[in-house]
Chain A
Amino acid sequence: MEITLLIQALVSGLLASGLYALVAVGLALAIGVIGIVNFAHGEFFMIGAFLTYQLAVSFGLDPVVSLLLVAPALFVIGALLYRTTVHYVLGAPELNQMLLTFGLGIILQNVALLVWGGDPRTVPAIPYRSASFQLGDVTFGAVLVGSFLVSIALVGGLYWLLLRTPTGRGMRAVAQNRIGASLVGLEVDRTYLLTFALSAALAGIGGVMIAVIQSPTPMVGLTYTLKAFAIVVLAGLGNIRGILWASLLVALSESLVANLVPNGGSLRNAVFFAIIFIVLVVRGRKGGAA
């Protein structure tokens, strides 16, 4: 029984890491390329969840189909917000940038509150929400497996985009040296816009998944913003490759504590705060020594 519980905990942690990675990678992209800490990242996620809900209620669209509409919608919303707000604070002190995105997040929460109300909503009648399959005594939730595969595919796709395409190389060049990139003819502002929009689209896809897994509320993004920050800090700011490992570490730690410790479900948040604490202290000591 204990071995089964341990394996189940490892499987749950592994599968949960996919969604964590998807949300975190968008945040890491904005930090790494644009250099802006986007506190509204979770709200893109929340809007993706509510759009999925609305498409299901109004048109009966399955969330899998919604994915094809929500991702472009969030891309456009991200681009618009970049052009109308973020664009104007790129040269401002970091604190001002953070205040702007924090304010954007609050505005988006309240827009959602006005449009959809404060009650948790339910995407009705998803036939596969509770589906699962067994491998021995270990249960694999269909939604968890699906979200894990989609997340890994998207993170892999993003990695490919950054490494193998001219657009991605442009992003990396701008991230490394904004002035140098502009001197060799790269349109820095356009690259920023594309990056911010892509980051929003990735969060939106995460939102589609969360609309399936739980109930969208105007505040649903906050939890995942915190997780994403924890993972980005673990991976190192802007280190997209490290996101996968950091997501796996956070998700596995949470799952193991929740499953193997009595009342461990209450300790999930303590786990990831403890991880951040340890990493920051260790990094700080190394930095101090250097």
Chain B
Amino acid sequence: MKRTLITTLAALLCAALAQPVQIGILSPLTGAAAGTGQAQLAGFELALEEINEAGGVLGEPLELIVEDTQATPAVAQAAFEKLMTEDGVGIIAGGYSSNVTLSLVESFRTFQPIVTWIGGASSGIGIDGFDGIEELIGEEEWFFHIHPWDYHNVTAATDYVASTEAETVALLHEDSAFGGPGAAAAAGLLEDAGLDVVLRESFTSTLLGGSGDFRAAITKARATDADMLYWIGYDSDVVPLTSQVRELGYTPEYIFGAPPGWPAEFASSPEAQCVTGLIGFLPNLPNPEAQEFTRAYRAMHNADPENYMAALAYANLWALADAINAAGTTDRDEVIAALEAGTFRSPMGDWSFTDSEITSHQGFGAEMWLVFQYQNGVREIVYPIEKATAPLQTCN
């Protein structure tokens, strides 16, 4: 009787201790950035299914508590505090939008969960009077930034621009925390690379309430007759901007855009021809991890992983699962140590955390970016040369 009682109590105690690991997800599932948020969710869902099929985390199925930020600081703030106080999660993953991330920094610091953040590129380094995410976070041990910083993006873009025959650049950018610092960094690096930035002009993105009329900025760019039109904006700006460039008769040799994503079906639009852009992942990447990820993603979501945030979210969740399993516990310090020490899987190949300019846990950097070009309805990789699937074409 006594043995039965002890066995029962022990079983109950084990059951109580073996709580599934819960990770809080913050992502803009509705609102202006819902496309990116939905892509993130799709990547998390695929990783979650694979992780749980592979035995879960610490022997229990991993669970996600997903909260919608709507890409709005106030909503994100409430969602984060709910995850901290109501759900009691110790790990936060996901994230998108520099504006939202900037608004969350002090809340992160208050609660100090482990944060593995796949969005938010605004660093702030080199811009007087502006503290970006990287500057505000500093060297906090609990913050892991997976997305490249804006200077990584600009370094990759500048490398590409310098490889072309362009000598003059007209730089148009949206005016929020994404495009403003990005343009400042781009202008500096382009000048350093020997190019002449003949115009720097801002506009309001359609994502943030702009009407999509960029004719004024394009008219000013046309007047410079620059060899390259380089613009930083969001994916909803792509169609109006590229069509108005043609409408106004501006014919630069190169058109380079740096939005986080590209609109669906844009490839088949005539305005897409010869437009180049940065992307972190493409389904036609030839490495085996990319092919396997694309196959599994198609099987689960019946679509291609067109937005690279799906690949980053997938890498994010697998890194957390692998780190917790390697640590053998959810103890905060031990998971942080495992994240610092580990090498993780991703559709782009193996990766690990290293130092960035300020933070001590940076996932991907400039090496993640590919430059593609729309050529006859297909996105061909044109830079770096060793990964190119087609040579770069000029627009004239």
Contact A8 B219 (CB under 8 A): yes
A16 with B35, Cβ < 8 A, contacts A119-B235, A122-B265, A130-B246 known:
no
Contact A215 B217 (CB under 8 A): no
Please give, as numbers and ranges, the residues of chain A lying within 8 Å of B223 by CB-CB distance. Answer: 1, 5
We find that the number of chain B residues with CB closer than 8 angstroms to chain A is 51
Partner of A117, one of B33, B35, B266: B35
Please give, as numbers and ranges, the residues of chain B lying within 8 Å of A253 by CB-CB distance. Answer: none
Please give, as numbers and ranges, the residues of chain A lying within 8 Å of B393 by CB-CB distance. Answer: none
Q: Does A178 contact B (CB under 8 A)?
A: no
Contact B33 A266 (CB under 8 A): no
Query: Which single residue of chain A is at the shortest CB-CB distance from B31?
Result: A219
Task: Kindly identify, within residues 25 to 60 of chain B, every residue whose CB is under 8 Å from any CB belonging to chain A.
Answer: 29-39
Contact A118 B30 (CB under 8 A): yes
Please give, as numbers and ranges, the residues of chain B lying within 8 Å of A227 by CB-CB distance. Answer: 211
Contact B271 A118 (CB under 8 A): no
Partner of A214, one of B239, B247, B249: B239
Contact A122 B263 (CB under 8 A): yes
List 8 contacting pairs A-B, 8 Å CB cutoff, sorted by A: A117-B38, A120-B239, A220-B206, A223-B210, A265-B210, A266-B175, A266-B203, A269-B209
Contact B247 A139 (CB under 8 A): yes
Partner of A139, one of B204, B240, B248: B248
A238 smallest CB distance to B (angstroms): 25
Partner of A223, one of B29, B211, B306: B211
Q: Give bound CA distance, A242 to B375, whole Å.
A: 48
**Could you list which residues of chain B lie within 8 angstroms of chain A, going by C-beta atoms?**
29-39, 175, 201-204, 206, 209-217, 219-220, 223, 235-236, 238-240, 243-244, 246-249, 261, 263-266, 268-271, 306-307
Q: Does A83 contact B (CB under 8 A)?
A: no
B241 smallest CB distance to A (angstroms): 9
Looking at the complex, which of A91-99, A156-164, A188-196, A254-262 is the stretch in contact with chain B? A254-262
A130 smallest CB distance to B (angstroms): 3
Contact B271 A129 (CB under 8 A): yes
Contact B271 A124 (CB under 8 A): no
A110 with B30, Cβ < 8 A, contacts A119-B263, A120-B264, A217-B236 known:
yes
Please give, as numbers and ranges, the residues of chain B lying within 8 Å of A125 by CB-CB distance. Answer: 268-270
